[in-house]
Amino acid sequence: MTNTGHTEAKGVRLEGVSRSFGQLKAVDNVSVDIPAGSFFSLLGPSGCGKSTTLRIISGFESPDQGRVYIGEEDVTDVQARRRPTAMVFQNYALFPHMTVGQNVAYGLKVRKLSASDVKSRVQDALRRVDMEAFEGTPVTSLSGGQQQRTALARAVAIEPEVILFDEPLSNLDVALRHQTRAELKALQHRLGLTSIYVTHDQEEAMALSDQIAVMRAGRIVQTGSPKELYQQPDSAFVASFLGGSNVLDDAQLIQRLTGAMPAGGYVVSVRPEHIEVDAEGGVEAEVVAHQYLGMQTSLTLEVDGYRLEARIPGDQEIPTATRIGVTSSRNVLDDR
Ligand code: ATP
């Protein structure tokens, strides 16, 4: 690692990476190619193997099988501190007895940079995240958002080629999360670093990412841009994970609702916004609950003992207990 100027982003490639803990295959034969300079998210429910995959890239965890490449270099057997990666953790992992500046300087001192290089890099990193005024402040007196930015400055200061984020916004409240998300995106764009981001929050992944890999039970089930995944999910799992969906397995109901006749054993996924309410000749449904969300209202419908979610424009009102006809002609897909 140089101590002078800019680093060049490098891509990351995993080839057939697996990692078990006892009987559990936490990561199961994962292969993925993450382009240099891109913002790439690993998205999936709790326990699907996202963090373990990220830790394997950072070198904090070793794979049982498979290889890890950063740029052209096979780093599988390279120690974590010798890899060109920096990690930003969920709890920030800041040293509580140190100031902001000391926290940012820490990794640079470990790398044995000269005092003047440490000083200039700390100032530069703090400037990039708009925290230069806080250099002498103890981290314990910072807000959550400021701690988050300090953690980011600490990662940026070591001039990594790849920056790894493990749910870095989950400790922030909703408003700050949105703001920090926008800052993070802008910063990533400015620095042009390859960013790999772990989250279970689909909205966050969609807002930030160039590409998303959706994980389930240790495997990557689909990779694509947010739009591709949203518009062309290739399984009901991906559809329901991105944007929410009604997943139906009752062939009769599917046929009455959508007009499609699924082959046996398949499930069908229908997005809430693709259910048309008040449709003539549709299936009869009862509105059992509604939640006003501003732009939209979410209706919970009961049809033949099943619950479905539909979305209608926020200015439209359909009271609870109303019986309506519902159909859906769009975005029905078989789970493969
Ligand atoms: P979360 O969002 O909850 O952190 P995740 O998708 O990041 O989930 P991992 O943390 O990678 O999932 O964990 C995958 C599975 O491996 C989980 O079942 C977890 O309990 C297990 N696991 C992870 N690390 C270890 C470990 N060091 N020892 C034993 N089991 C582990």
- pLDDT at position 333 is 55
Of 209, 240, 210, 86, residue with least CA distance to 151 = 86
- pLDDT at position 244 is 76
- pLDDT at position 5 is 42
244-333 homologous superfamily: Nucleic acid-binding proteins (2.40.50.140)
Question: Along the 336 residues of the chain, how does pLDDT read in single tens digits?
Answer: 333 345 568 999 999 999 999 999 999 999 999 999 999 999 999 999 999 999 999 999 999 999 999 999 999 999 998 899 999 887 778 999 999 999 999 989 988 889 999 999 999 999 988 899 999 999 999 988 889 889 999 999 988 999 999 988 887 788 888 888 888 888 888 888 899 999 999 989 998 999 999 999 999 999 999 999 988 888 888 887 887 778 887 778 888 888 777 666 667 778 888 888 876 778 899 999 989 889 999 999 999 888 999 999 989 888 999 999 898 876 555 544
- pLDDT at position 4 is 37
Within 13 A of 223's CA, how many CA atoms are on the CB side?
15
- pLDDT at position 2 is 35
- pLDDT at position 264 is 61
Which pTM value belongs to this model?
0.83
Q: Residue 315 region, left (φ>0) first, then alpha (ψ -120 to 50), else beta?
A: alpha
180 lines ligand 1 (CB under 6 A): no
Residues spanned by CATH 2.40.50.140 within the chain? 244-333
Question: In angstroms, rounded to a whole number, what is the distance separating the alpha carbons of residues 326 and 239?
Answer: 20
- pLDDT at position 266 is 65
- pLDDT at position 226 is 93
Query: Closest ligand 1 atom, CA of 61?
Result: 27
Give distance in angstroms: CA of 25 to centre of ligand 1. 10
Kindly report the protein residue whose alpha carbon is nearest to atom 21 of ligand 1.
Answer: 26
Give distance in angstroms: CA of 85 to centre of ligand 1. 21
Question: In angstroms, rounded to a whole number, what is the distance separating the alpha carbons of residues 135 and 39?
Answer: 28
Residues contacting 320, CB < 8 A, separation 6+? 287, 288, 289, 290
Residues spanned by CATH 3.40.50.300 within the chain? 12-239
CATH code, 12-239 = 3.40.50.300
Question: In angstroms, rounded to a whole number, what is the distance separating the alpha carbons of residues 47 and 204?
Answer: 18
Give distance in angstroms: CA of 159 to centre of ligand 1. 28
